[in-house]
């Protein structure tokens, strides 16, 4: 059984092991694979493992031995699933492996915005507190989360985990979701999207990217928000119109934003959010804790093991 990992570096830059795959077949791991290298490297492989390397219908047509594609992520848009199904190729993904890590990143951004820990640490390294005439100082707004309204758009695994943390901070949780009121936990209220954006102090995006949700947050939506409001996006970059968000931040129409995802990754140097006022940007690392990546690796191996035993799980090409 020939197994090719096309772009392993994103999951495992050296702190995890590929041993689980190696036990299942002859495994070759490439850190990265360009589009021009895919067919050559994958020739003769029955198993392909990919994270962000795209597998088109034409590529799969050129790989007659291919039987299985394992995607090292929850999203599987890098694979032409329709073409895979037509060719009898099984495609699996990794659901819900990073729920707690992504919810944690929501609050990493939120606390960075409300408490400015890094700012004060850097100031104190250059002697500002030591030179201070008073016992303390501050030059940024400092905000308490208790009593604030947290609006969550999308109430799947990560949205629910975010709601639990928000409740622990004493925040009031409002959600926009297709679930009915009876399905929601105590203390969580269902509201319309308009009411969520108009009334919430913090809005966190956790909905899937679809034709309907692309640019869900645009200039009109941002104008609904309070001038003191904070937007957090750890979902998908294109949920937000980045130019509209940068304009809103620079004009002070909303207070701040924390984003872990952008519409193009890595971003172009002129992406407006990189220089926008009060915009905190992390490089798509909410999923990348050692714990989440270890779970991902284990689940990817189990997906393949199950396929080889004839009991496929997490099959998306159905």
* Residues labelled as active-site residues: 236, 265, 284
CA distances, 39 to each of 54, 62, 79, 153 (Å): 11, 7, 14, 40
Beta strands in the chain (DSSP E): 2-5, 26-29, 47-50, 68-71, 90-92, 149-153, 172-176, 188-190, 202-205, 230-233, 256-259, 279-281
- Token look-up 């108009």 returns 198
Run of H or E including 240: none
Rounded to 5 degrees, what angle do the CA atoms 80, 86, 11 make?
Answer: 35
List, as one string, the DSSP characters of 130-149.
TT-SSS----S-----TTPE
Q: What is the 3-state secondary structure (H, E, C) of 81-112?
A: HHHHHHCCCEEECCCCCCHHHHHHHHHHHHHH
236 — phi, psi (to 5°)? -135, 140
């Amino acid at each position: 059984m020939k197994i090719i990992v096309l772009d392993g570096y994103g999951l495992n830059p050296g702190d995890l092991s590929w041993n689980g795959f190696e036990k299942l077949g002859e495994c070759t791991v490439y850190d990265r694979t360009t589009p021009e290298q895919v067919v050559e490297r994958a020739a003769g492989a029955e198993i392909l493992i990919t994270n962000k390397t795209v597998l088109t219908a034409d590529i799969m047509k050129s790989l007659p031995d291919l039987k299985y594609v394992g995607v090292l992520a929850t999203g599987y848009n890098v694979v032409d699933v329709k073409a895979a199904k037509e060719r009898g190729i099984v495609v699996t993904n990794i659901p819900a492996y990073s729920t707690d890590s992504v919810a944690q990143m929501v609050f990493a951004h939120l606390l960075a915005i409300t408490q400015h820990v890094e700012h004060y640490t850097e100031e104190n390294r250059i002697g500002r507190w030591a030179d201070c005439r008073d016992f303390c100082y501050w030059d940024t707004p400092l905000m308490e989360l208790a009593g604030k309204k947290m609006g969550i758009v999308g109430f799947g695994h990560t949205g629910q985990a975010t709601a639990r943390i928000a409740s622990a901070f004493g925040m009031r949780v409002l959600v926009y979701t297709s679930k009915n009121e009876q399905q929601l936990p105590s203390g969580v209220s269902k509201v319309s999207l308009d009411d969520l954006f108009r009334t919430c102090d913090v809005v966190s995006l956790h909905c899937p990217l679809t034709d309907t949700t692309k640019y869900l947050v645009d200039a009109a939506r941002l104008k609904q928000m309070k001038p003191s409001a904070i937007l957090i996006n750890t979902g998908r970059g294109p949920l937000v119109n980045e130019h509209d968000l940068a304009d809103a931040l620079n004009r002070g129409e909303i207070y701040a934003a924390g984003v872990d995802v952008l519409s193009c990754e890595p971003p172009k140097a002129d992406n407006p959010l990189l220089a926008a006022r009060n915009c905190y940007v992390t490089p798509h690392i909410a999923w990348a804790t050692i714990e989440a990546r270890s779970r991902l690796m284990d689940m990817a191996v189990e997906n393949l093991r199950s396929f080889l035993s004839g009991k496929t799980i997490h099959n998306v090409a159905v």
